[in-house]
Structures are given as C-alpha cells and as structure tokens.
Structure 1
Amino acid sequence: MAATRVVVDIPGERQYDVRIGEDILKDLGAKLAPVLEVQPPSRILVISDSNVAPLYLETCKQGLATLGCPVSDITVPAGEEAKCVEVIGEVWSAMAALGLARDSVVVALGGGVVGDLAGFAGATYMRGVRVVQVPTTLLSMVDSSVGGKTGINLDAGKNLVGTFLQPSYVCASTDVLATLDEREWACGCAEIAKSALIDSDDFFFWLVENAPLLAERQPDVVREAIARSVVFKAGVVAQDKTESRGVRECLNYGHTLGHAIETLAGYGTYSHGAAVAEGMRFAARLGQTLAGTPLELVEAQDALLDQLGLSVLDWKAPAEDILNAMKRDKKARQGAVRFVLPADVGAWELVSVDDDTILEHLRLYFGE
C-alpha cells in the first residue's frame, strides 16, 4: 500500500511533508533528496536513544547514505531524564566535535524525548540547522514530531526551556510500532483521543467506533488515526505556530493536570499519555462546572479512554502540591492556572481558574 502523505503548510514557513506508511525508513534518503536539494547537507547527524538505536539506527543510516554525505550518530540515554541541561550540553559538544556546519541536518530518530531533545539541539546549534523527524512511537507520530515544538525539562517542570523549529520532513514508518509495549501504545492513544475530542464530531465518533481496532493495532485503523491526528494538529499550528494567539493552546487539553502528575510522581513513573488521560478526565469534570460540559460527554470520554487501555491512575497527591506544580507550568499566566475545557466535542474554552476552585475540584476528584 502506498504511503499516506500529509502536507503541513504553515504561514511564513516552508511547507513540509509527513509521510505515513510501512517500511518507509529505508527510503528516507531518496525522499529527502528533493527536500534538501537547494542546500545539500555537508553532514548528517542522527540522534537516537539507547532503546531505539539498536533496532533502527543502521536502517536509518543506510537509507540516508544515498544522499552522498557523511552520516554520524549520537546515542543518548533512553527516558524522560535525558531531556535535561546536562545531556543537551553533551550533544552540543558532540556536534561541535563532529564539525557540523550551518548546512548540516539533524535527524531525530526516536520517540518524543528524542524528538524534543534533537529538535532543540538543531534549533539552537549555530542558531539553527535543519531537522528531520523520524518518530518511532505512536505518541511522537501523532503529536510531537509535527508542529515544531522543541525543548528540555528543568527540575522545576517539564519543557520549561525550548523554542520552535518546524522540521524539514517527517517520516512515520509504522512498521516500527510493532516493538512498542502496551504502556507506550496506550500513551499514543491518549493523544489521539485528545485530538479527536478537540477536533470534531467526525473524528471523535470515528475513534469511538474504531477504538477496539486501534487498541488491537489494526494497520489500516492505525494509519488512519495517525493521519487524522496529523491533519488536525497541522491545521491548528497553521493558525498559531508559536502558541501566541490562543488557538494552539487547545493542544494542551489534559496537559495542565497531566504535567503536574508527571512532575510530582517523577518523570517516567507514568507515561505522558497516561498522565494526559487523567488530565482529560479531570478537565471534563471541571468543565461541567465552568464550561457547561455535558455529562454525556464526560461519560463518553471515560469509556473511550478505558477502551484504549487508559484506566484511571492509582495516584494522588495533596491538592496544594498539585496546584503549586500547575502554577510552575509554562502554561500559567501571571500566577493563574489555565485549563482547556471542552464545552462539547469540537468546542473548547481556555479558562483561567482561581485557586480555590481548583483546590475544591482536586479534592473532589482525588477523594480527599
């Protein structure tokens, strides 16, 4: 079956392709050649992690070899902990030691952590070199590889240091998803569910109907889910590429509580998707009070998340600690915590919520 092609066209940026299909990693160089022909690279650097590199690094490098320039690689530790100041410093030093120039290309081969880290390295080294995203998890295919967000974490919170750099190309080779465990698969499903609920009735009810097949990894459904998610995100980013107009903030649905859970529980304790799913459950209930979210939508979302393997987390923390973590998040403004709340499927509101209301709902939700 031919690969699916989604074009991301953002005002003020060069448009780029997201290619979705099986066994397309080996053709990466051939597909990149016309993208890079205006300024052929003097060197390509593949950044991967210790989990992904043994599986796909050689295939990726062989595919890139057709471009006729040296291909080097760096492997960073696997896991969210790699998105830190120490590791990015080591990556910058390695890039300099390899002699990367402004015409070089960085290829991010891995999940969201590698995509964010390598993207940030490419965006900042010599004030910016071209970046190609090769996502290897469902989460990174449907979310982080598209849209240009890059960044690293600080002890104070997730993704507090970063910038925007749109990739030159995205290669989503779905055959690599076969190596994902159930935790990582469900993690990606959470972002698909988020996109579907925020996007439209068409996407949401398609997902409700096909949730069992997506959970079972039926190939056609997987490809369709990825394509729908990419089209949704590309449309949002085209309206608000740097999250400065309020439109792109819809992509943070579920993330306000989700990021707080990740910070307080410790990065990696729960997958990003599991934390976001918990945040979606909470936001929908908060929305009942503040945005008129119908009870039927709360129940339909709960049922969908359950079907996708995203059950309620066995986790809690003092409401005051959760609120403080939320206030440190980059989405807060002037000390106020803001939530994306669903008024209905395809309709959302960005609401600043006062501390007392948040504490009340956190205590109710977590049973304090």
Structure 2
Amino acid sequence: MQIYLVGGAVRDELLGLEIKDRDWVVVGATPDDMLKQGYKQVGADFPVFLHPGSREEYALARTERKQGRGYHGFEVYSAPDVTLEDDLKRRDLTINAMARDEQGLIVDPFNGQQDLEARVLRHVSEAFAEDPLRILRTARFAARFQPQGFRVCNQTMALMRTMVAEGEVDHLVAERVWQEIQRALEEHEPRAFFEVLRDTGALAILIPELVPDQAFTAAMTALHCVHQQDGSIEERFAALISPLPDHQSGPRIQALKAPNDCKNLALLVAAVLPALTRSGEQKAPALSADELYAVLDTADLWRRPERFSLLLNVLACILEPADQEIVHTLQRAANSASGVEPKALMAQGFTGRVLGEAIRQERLRRIQQAITS
C-alpha cells in the first residue's frame, strides 16, 4: 500500500502558495485494508475514506469510463491493480495531475511542472472531453491564476470548443453550474472565467444574454469594479447581471439557481436601475423626493438597511459618471428617512392606516429637506 499527496496541494506547494486542502490517493489497497487501519468510508460512488486522525480524505486509486452524456454517467473502477499514473491520467489539467510520495519526491507523468513554469493550463488527455464540467473548472483556474500569468493553451481551448459544439454543455444542471460560477466570482480575476466561457462558446449556452459585446463589456467592467472593492458574492453577482434589461434579467437570475441573497440583490438592482439611469447625452433632472422615496421603499430600506448598503455599492460600479451623484443623493435620503420614529408619531395619536401615511409623509418631508439643503 502506497500513499501519495495529489492534485491541488502539490500544485500550490510548487507555486509557493498556501495549501488549504490536502487530498491523498492510496495505491494497492482495498476498502477492507483501509477499514482495518481505522479509516472511515464516506464515498458512495467510489471508495473515499477519512483519516482517523487528520480527517483528511484518502481515495483509493481509480479509473473512470464514460457511460452517458454530461458530467454524470461514469463507471468507476477501483482496485489494487490501478496504478498512480492511471489515477492521475483521469484528472483535468496537467498542473493538477502531479503527486508527491511519502519521501517527498514528485511524481509527474504528464509534465505538470513544465506547464507550471510555462504558466499554461493544459488538459491531461483526451478523457478531458468526457466531462463538460471541466470547461467550467478550467475557466475557474484561469480566473484564479491569470494574475500570475497563466493562460489556457490553444489545444485545450480547441478541445473545449469541440465539446461545446457537440452539445456536452447542454447536459449540465443549473445547480452545478451555479457552484462553479460562485467559486469563480470569488477568484483573483473573475473576469477571466467569463472570458474563457465566451471564447469556447459555453457562455452562449449558460448565460446567452451576456454574449453581445456591449452587454459583456458592461458586465465585466462592473464585476471588476466590485471585485476591486472586495465586494460580497451578492454584489458580484448583481454586477454581473446588471447590464441585462428587465425582460432578460429576471428570468436569467431565476434560471441560474443562485441562493436567495444573490437573487434578491440582483433583482433589486434590476428593479431600481431604470428609475436611476440617464438617457441621452443631456443630464436628466434630479430625482424628486417622491421618486427617491419610491426607490428606498422598493429597496425595503426600513427593514433591510444592510441590503440597501450593498445596493449602493453595486450602483456605484454600474452607473455612468454623469449619474454617480445619485448614489450620494440616495445615501443622504436614506440617512434622513430612516430616522423617523413610529413611536413618536403614535404618541401624537396616529394609529392604523393613518399612522402608516404619517410615517410616509414624515419620511418624504425629511427626504425633501435633505435634497434641498
């Protein structure tokens, strides 16, 4: 029985990066061998075990054979006769297909170290084409490592384009696509993820509304701005979707199966943006107190002040320079209107619907005062 550190941990160690997770491959062992040594089996599709001490994952060396379309439909074979090279060959990129043995020696049958030095993302073998999810993973690695000069090699780009043309991406489920998008949005250069997807044709299937030049440029500019401000995942997603018109943004936001916080902020941006966007070259008149109140009410400032702050951050990244003053105006209006105390109005005898109207009028009065002063 031989144990090897594999994948990302070896790659990041060679790059001098912090190692966050360690994955191990065990060659020459059976499930019974692992259980006898105190490992706990957790894998359902193939034998994966938790180390009795570190709780890190140890997987028996395995091979896979494609049986269907999409990223499902694989027949997994795991037995003591599966070699380390057999296991590494099924991996996606050469920089992820290296191992380190217990003596510290690097096992690199597919020249991953060479590609690390050349800053190249290259597929290990033609088996790459069997799993369309690897297109998204490769794009995500481009987003992670582009600041270090990495690029996807021409051969791998060509292979991914062929996979898209053959319909493999059509079989990806929305939930799994969202997982990759979410991870990509948090990488070092999120724009690279969408640039790779667009160049391969996958974006035309996953988020077709962003493919046109104008929409894509606007989305990438907004996303980069939020990223530079270390924005949350909700802000990044809202910035990504912000160039889409109302009739496209709502259905696409729902189709991407993002979590509620992400969906709600993106939908809020789509809802308020038409009221804030200037048309033509001449600057439109400033928003009235009633219009500002409508935006604050749509944003539910009164119950969700934290989300309103996120909204302002996104707006600051997507509005044209001529419209940037509206962000400051909204903040002033919010500061003034949120100071209304319902209890004070109740003490004056207001109740029920009359109280609600009194609160609204007082908020309007304060907004008007804020924008005129």
* TM-score for the superposition, normalised by structure 2: 0.30
Which structure would you say has the larger Rg? 2
Q: In proportion to residue count, which structure has more helix? A: 2
* TM-score for the superposition, normalised by structure 1: 0.30
Q: In proportion to residue count, which structure has more strand? A: 1
